[in-house]
Structure 1
Amino acid sequence: MTRKAVITGIGVVAPGGVGREAFWDLLSAGRTATRAISLFDASGFRSRIAAEVDFDPRAAGLSYQEIRRMDRAAQFAVVAVDEAVADSGIEPGALDPERIGVSLGSAVGCTTSLEQEYRVLSDDGRRWLVDHAYGVPHLYGHMVPSTLAVEVAWRVAAQGPVALVSTGCTSGLDAVGRAMQLIADNSADVVLAGATDAPLSPITSACFDAIKATSANNDDPEHASRPFDAERDGFVLGEGCAVMVVEEAEAARARGARIYAELAGSASFSNAFHMTGLRPDGREMARAITVALDRARLDPSEVDYVNAHGSGTQQNDRHETAAFKRSLGERAYRVPVSSIKSMIGHSLGAIGSLEVAACALALDRQVVPPTANLHHPEPACDLDYVPLVAREHPMDTVLSVGSGFGGFQTAMVLTRGNR
C-alpha cells in the first residue's frame, strides 16, 4: 500500500503580516505588500521596491542569542516552524525523533548575513585582504546553506533525514516534493517541509538590476507586480517563509488531525536550455504538469485551480500560458488561474512554499486568491487569471507550478484532504 502525505500544519512569515491568518487575509482581500525598500539604502539602484516582511524577532519569541546566531532567513524558518507545529497539534517530543525529517528549501541561503559580514571584514569593500578578526563566531554557519535546515531540525529535535534543497526559484516546491517522497518511501513519518529566503540586500538588487529582471516602477510600488498584465515590466523581489507539517496520511487521520490537503503528485525537470531564458512553447513546464498529474492519477479535466508561477516577466507569463494550454488542453480555458506574487512579490526559493501554503488554504476555504493589479491582460495571456478580486470556487484538485533560473520546472498537485 502506498503511503500518502498530507499537510496538517501551516506556518507563515510573509510580507503583509506574520502568521498564517495574516497571510490568508492579505491574499483573500487582494491587497499588495510591495513598497519602497527600507531594509537598506536602495537609492542607487534601478529597482528600488520590494515586498518586505515587517518582522521583529524578539516579538516573534526569539532570544537575543538566537538572533545573534541566526541569519534573517533562519529566523523566519524557526518562527514558521513553531506556528506549523502548534497548528498541527502534533507533539514532536512524543514521536520517535528518528522518524522526524526536515526538508527545507532556499535559493540564496544566508545572503543577508554574508553581505553584512563581508562589509565589516573588508571595511565596506575598501580592503581586498579582509581582516578575519572582525568576523562573528557564526560566520561559517552563514556560509553553509544547510545551516538553515539544521536550525529547523534543532527546533523540533529531528533526527531523521534532514536536508537543504536549493534549486533556485523552485526550491520551495521541490522541498515539499521531497517531503512527500520521504513519507512514501517510509523514511519518515513526519517531515517539516517548506522554504525560506531573505534576499533583500544590495548584492541581490545589483544582480537583478544587471539583467533588468525586476520592475522599475518605483513611483507606484503597490502596483508594480503585474503578472499577465500588458503593462508589466518585471518582477518585484520579496522575502518570507512557509513551513508545513507533512504527515503520513493514515497516522494523521488516526490521531484526528485537521488535514488541509493531500500531496498527490509532483514532478521536476530541467530544460537544459538557458540560465535565464525559456522556450516560448512551454514544453518543459507542460511536461512537469503532465507527469505530476499522472503520478496523482488524475486527468487534466479534474484540475479546479492553477496557482501560477506568475512572476510578471514578459517571457515567463507567455511561457506559462503556453504550458497550461499544452498540458491541460481545453481545460486551460475553463479553470481559474492566479499569481500570488502580485501581492507578496517573488521571494526566490521561498515563494514555492508560500504558494503551496496558499494552495492548501485555498482548498481548505474553497476560495481562489486573485491576481492583483491585473487591469489590462496581455492578449497572449488569454486565460482566466482571476483579476483583482478573490473568488469563491468549489475545489478538489489544485495545481501549483514553479519555474527557476537554471531551467528548473516543477509542478505539484494537491487534493482536498477530507475526500
Structure 2
Amino acid sequence: MSGRRVAITGIGVTAPGGVGTKAFWDLLSHGRTATRAISTFDASGFRSRVAAEIDFDPEQSGLSPQQVRRMDRAAQLAVVSAREAVSDSGLEFVDLDPHRTGVTIGSAVGATMGLDQEYRVVSDGGRLELVDHRYATKHLYDHFVPSSFSAEVAWAVGAEGPVSVVSTGCTSGIDSVGHAVELIREGTADVVVAGATDAPISPITLACFDAIKATTPRDDDPATASRPFDRSRNGFVLGEGAAVFVLEELGAALRRGAHVYAEVAGYASRCNAFHMTGLRPDGAEMAEAIRVALDEARVDPTDVDYVNAHGSGTKQNDRHETAAFKRALGEHARRTPVSSIKSMVGHSLGAIGSIEIAASALAMEYGVVPPTANLRTPDPECDLDYVPITAREHRTDTVLSVGSGFGGFQSAIVLARPDRRTP
C-alpha cells in the first residue's frame, strides 16, 4: 500500500427529512424522525406500512425532464447528491484529468422502483401473465443494470477513470467508499466521487421483508416505529436516500486549501459465512472488521470518540452489534458514545452506509453526536451509551462507523482528523 492518504472534501446528501446536507444534519442534530405512513402507494395489505420517505422533486432539484424520464429514482438521488458534493468540494472537475477521476456507487437493490413501475405497465397492473413489451420504456435496460447508476454519476461529473458499482447488500454504502479509498491509495485515481443510493420503498420490497418479519409492524405510531437498542424494538423501518462524497488525495487537498471534513483512515470488511439473514450472537466477524480497520488507521481502540452504529432495530442485530463493540473496543466501549441514525431516517438498505458516513463526518465537523431517537426503555442486553433521544455536544476526532448486511457481510470504516494520525 502506498503512503497516499485520502480525504473527504465534499458531501452531498438526499435523505428523509429534506434534500441537501444542511437539511439532513438539521434533522439529526435536533433528534427529529422522518418516518411516516407510506404515501407513494397503497400499502394497506402489508404487515409493515411505515417508511422514511423523501419529499423529493427531481426537477426542483435540478434534473431535466429527459433525465427524470431516463433515470430510476435511485439514480436521480445519486446524481443530485453527487452535484452537491462536487459543489461543496470546491474542485473544478473540468480542470481535472478525466482519466484520473473515478466513480464508485453502492446499491443493494438497484432500480427497484423503476422495475416495479414498468412491470405494472407491461403487465397491465398484473393482469397479464404474458407481458406486452410494447408498453415498456425504451430505458428499461438501464433499470436492469445497476451500473447505470455509476454511469449517470460519471456523466454528471465528467469522470473517465475507474467507474464501478459495489453491491454487497446493506454494507454497500461503506464498501463503495472503502473501494474508492483503495483506488486513490494505490494510485489508480486522484479523485473519486463515491457513495451509495437506494430507493426501495415499493410493494416488492415490503413483501420480501414482511415475509421474514424484519420490518416493524408498529403502524399506529410511525414517528416512534424505529427503536434501535430499545427493549420494545420489533424490526426496522424501510427508508430511501443517497449520500455521495468527493474523495481526494489528502496532500493535494491541503495544497489547494480545501476544507477537509475527515480523513478516511481505515476500512475493512468480513463475512460470517454462517447464514443468509442470521447473526452469531458473539459479534466476532464485525469485531474482526473493526480491529482490522483500526489497525489500518493506526488508531488504538481507546482513541475512538464515537461509534455510528448499524443499529437497525432488530432484536438480533442490536445484540450482535453490542457484543462486537465490547469485543473490539474492550472496556472503552462502555465509555464511548454510540448512536443509530436509523431511528430518524430509517434503513435505506445499500445507501445507509454512506448516509451514516456523512453523519459521522458531520458529527466531527460540528462536535455533536446525533442521538438514537425513540430509545426510552433500554434493553438490558444492549448496555452501552447509546445517546438516547437528544443530541450531545462531544468533540470527536476519531469516528468508527459500521454496517451489517444479509449474507453475513460486516464492514467497518474509520474517519479521523488528519492531524490526529501519524503517517
TM-score interval, smaller chain: over 0.9
Q: Which residue of 1 aligns with 2:135?
A: 134
Distance 1:178 1:418 in 2: 23
Letter in 2 for 1:334: R
Q: TM-score of the superposition, structure 1-length normalised?
A: 0.99
Aligned-residue Cα RMSD (Å) equals 0.7
Aligned residues with identical type, % of pairs: 71
Distance 1:81 1:327 in 2: 34
Alignment of 1:17-416 (within 5 A): 17-416=18-417
Distance 2:418 2:311 in 1: 26
Distance 1:393 1:95 in 2: 37
* 1:217-262 residue CA offsets vs partner (Å, 9 max, x unmatched): 1000000000000001100000000000001000000100000000
Distance 1:52 1:416 in 2: 33
Letter in 2 for 1:60: S
Distance 2:93 2:407 in 1: 37
Distance 1:412 1:389 in 2: 25
Distance 2:173 2:419 in 1: 24
Distance 1:270 1:333 in 2: 26
Distance 2:370 2:355 in 1: 13
Letter in 1 for 2:247: V
Letter in 2 for 1:279: R
Distance 1:16 1:417 in 2: 31
Distance 1:78 1:91 in 2: 17
Distance 2:22 2:368 in 1: 14
Does the Cα contact within 8 Å between 1:364 and 1:416 map onto a contact in 2? no
Does the Cα contact within 8 Å between 1:33 and 1:52 map onto a contact in 2? yes
* 1:164-198 residue CA offsets vs partner (Å, 9 max, x unmatched): 00000000000000111011000111000100000
Does the Cα contact within 8 Å between 1:197 and 1:349 map onto a contact in 2? yes
Gap regions ≥5 residues in structure 1:
none
Once the 2 structures are TM-superposed, how far is the Cα of residue 418 of structure 1 from its aligned partner?
5.3
Does the Cα contact within 8 Å between 1:121 and 1:134 map onto a contact in 2? yes
Letter in 2 for 1:205: L
Distance 2:63 2:295 in 1: 43
Letter in 2 for 1:283: A
Tell me which stretches of 4 or more aligned residues in structure 1 moved more than 2 Å. Answer: none
Once the 2 structures are TM-superposed, how far is the Cα of residue 293 of structure 1 from its aligned partner?
0.4
* 1:376-417 residue CA offsets vs partner (Å, 9 max, x unmatched): 000000000000111111111000000000110000000024
Q: TM-score of the superposition, structure 2-length normalised?
A: 0.98
Distance 2:298 2:406 in 1: 29
Distance 2:403 2:149 in 1: 22
Distance 1:352 1:417 in 2: 22
Once the 2 structures are TM-superposed, how far is the Cα of residue 139 of structure 1 from its aligned partner?
0.3
In the alignment of these two chains, the number of paired residues is: 419
* 1:243-300 residue CA offsets vs partner (Å, 9 max, x unmatched): 0000100000010000000000000011110000000000010000000001111110
SS at match of 1:46: coil
SS at match of 2:389: coil
SS at match of 2:383: coil
Gap regions ≥5 residues in structure 2:
none
Letter in 2 for 1:328: L
Once the 2 structures are TM-superposed, how far is the Cα of residue 129 of structure 1 from its aligned partner?
1.4
Does the Cα contact within 8 Å between 1:260 and 1:417 map onto a contact in 2? no
Once the 2 structures are TM-superposed, how far is the Cα of residue 367 of structure 1 from its aligned partner?
0.8
